[in-house]
Amino acid sequence: MRKRVLSGIRATGRLHLGNYLGAVKGMIELQNNPSYQCLYMVADAHTITTPYDPKQLSDNRKEIIIDYLASGLDPQKSILFIQSQIPEHFELTYYFSSIVTIARMQHLPTYKEKVKQYPQNNTMALLNYPILMAADILVYKANLVPVGADQEPHLEVAREIGRKMNQLFKTDFPEPIRFATKGEYIPSLKGEGKMSKSVEGSYINLTDSFDEIRKKIRSIPTATTAGGPLIGGLKTLFILGQIFLSSTDYQNFKNQYNQGNLQFSQMKDTLAQVIYEELKSFQERRKEIEKNEDYVNEVIKEGAIRAREIASQTLKEVKEKMGF
Ligand code: TRP
């Protein structure tokens, strides 16, 4: 049997370069490997665990599907769907919640961070976030999950839940593991933390024009003199360089840096040019897909049907074994 892959991105906004490099590239790699059956969703239900705007949520759901398609995810090869259209995720979350303690959820670093960020929003949905994510994965009995390293604590919860379910109720959930991609940690343009939708000025949008990209790359804080350890903005610049520049260009800039004669503006503008080249084809494909609304709706509808076929099987099994 083929191994199953599941991943999702929260519908908090359009995809940016960090999601693209960190998550979507890994998704595409797995999709093109015939040993895997891939399911990729828009995690719209996870979006309401932090304050949100309903109109924006409604738009973003479809926008992310379009981003997926333009990035190269292919509905002939992968099942692309919207999380909230598969009610089995929620039903399984409830059953799973009966074997997870409140204390376990309260101690997760992701939970603590969000409570700090939104003290007025310490909700049950936020506390349940990891259980819903476990249900997302286990309802398809997925083996591999392409996500960033920051999601490792959530995957640990999913493995614990699967194990405990298997022990208590003789289910056969696998132990899902994280599939790491090369560009999984894309640092912020501000030189601190990671590229994130929630930090203004930290990211490059996939739809940015050449001028916007150049302006953003030029804004990465770098010293006026070269040499010394690669920290802060310098680290961001060189990590992006490593991902996007040819190895010759990268090595040249690196040597110049070490010798203390690197012209930062030259490296930045070269980098901006290469990033734009990569995004240009994405932008062209996206324009084509945007025009074809019927096609996008059809992809979403088909995806839900196919995802539900698998999910309902698991639910049937779990309910029986749990005594319903
Ligand atoms: N928590 C993930 C993130 O913030 C998004 C997500 C929700 C997810 N459900 C998932 C990722 C299931 C992988 C599998 O990136």
CA 190/CA 194 separation, integer angstroms = 9
- pLDDT tens across 208-253, in order? 999 999 999 999 999 777 788 889 999 999 999 999 999 999 999 9
pLDDT band at 178 (very low <50, low <70, confident <90, very high): very high
pTM for this entry? 0.90
> Considering the chain, what is the average pLDDT of its residues?
94
CA 151/CA 192 separation, integer angstroms = 19
pLDDT band at 180 (very low <50, low <70, confident <90, very high): confident
Q: Any idea which of 9-13, 28-32, 88-92, 195-199 has the lowest mean pLDDT?
A: 195-199
**Could you give the 3-state DSSP secondary structure of residue 43?**
strand
| Domains detected in the chain | 3-184+293-322 (3.40.50.620), 210-288 (1.10.240.10)
CA 265/CA 166 separation, integer angstroms = 57
Strands across the sheet containing 3-10? 78-82, 36-43, 3-10, 144-145, 177-178
The ligand 1 atom at the shortest distance from the C-alpha of residue 6 is: 14
Ligand 1 centroid – CA 52 distance (Å): 17
CA 42/CA 320 separation, integer angstroms = 29
Whether 51 has a pLDDT exceeding 90, the answer reads yes
**Could you give the 3-state DSSP secondary structure of residue 155?**
helix
pLDDT band at 25 (very low <50, low <70, confident <90, very high): confident
Ligand 1 centroid – CA 9 distance (Å): 6
Whether 137 has a pLDDT exceeding 90, the answer reads yes
Q: Which residue lies with its CA nearest to atom 6 of ligand 1? A: 8
- Report pLDDT for 181: 75
- Report pLDDT for 223: 76
Whether 53 has a pLDDT exceeding 80, the answer reads yes
Q: Where are the beta strands (DSSP E) in the chain?
A: 3-10, 36-43, 78-82, 144-145, 177-178
Pocket of ligand 1 (CB under 6 A): 6-8, 10, 43, 46, 133, 136-137, 145, 147, 151, 154
- Report pLDDT for 227: 80
Ligand 1 centroid – CA 319 distance (Å): 25
Contact assessment for residue 183 and residue 200, using Cβ atoms and an 8 Å cutoff: no
Ligand 1 centroid – CA 148 distance (Å): 9
Nearest C-alpha neighbor of 31 from the set 235, 224, 179: 179
- Report pLDDT for 13: 82
Beta bridge mates, 178:
145
Q: Interior CA angle at 156 toward 150 and 158, to 5°? A: 110
Q: What is the CA radius of gyration of the chain?
A: 21
Q: Report residue 268 as tokens.
A: 């930045």
- pLDDT tens across 247-265, in order? 999 999 999 999 989 999 9
Ligand 1 centroid – CA 256 distance (Å): 40
Distances (CA, A) of 70 to 20, 39, 56, 58, 77: 11, 17, 20, 19, 14
Q: Which residue lies with its CA nearest to atom 15 of ligand 1? A: 9
Dihedral sign computed on CA atoms, order 252, 257, 261, 267: positive
Q: Where are the beta strands (DSSP E) in 117-228?
A: 144-145, 177-178
- Maximum alpha-carbon separation in the chain: 71
- Report pLDDT for 86: 98
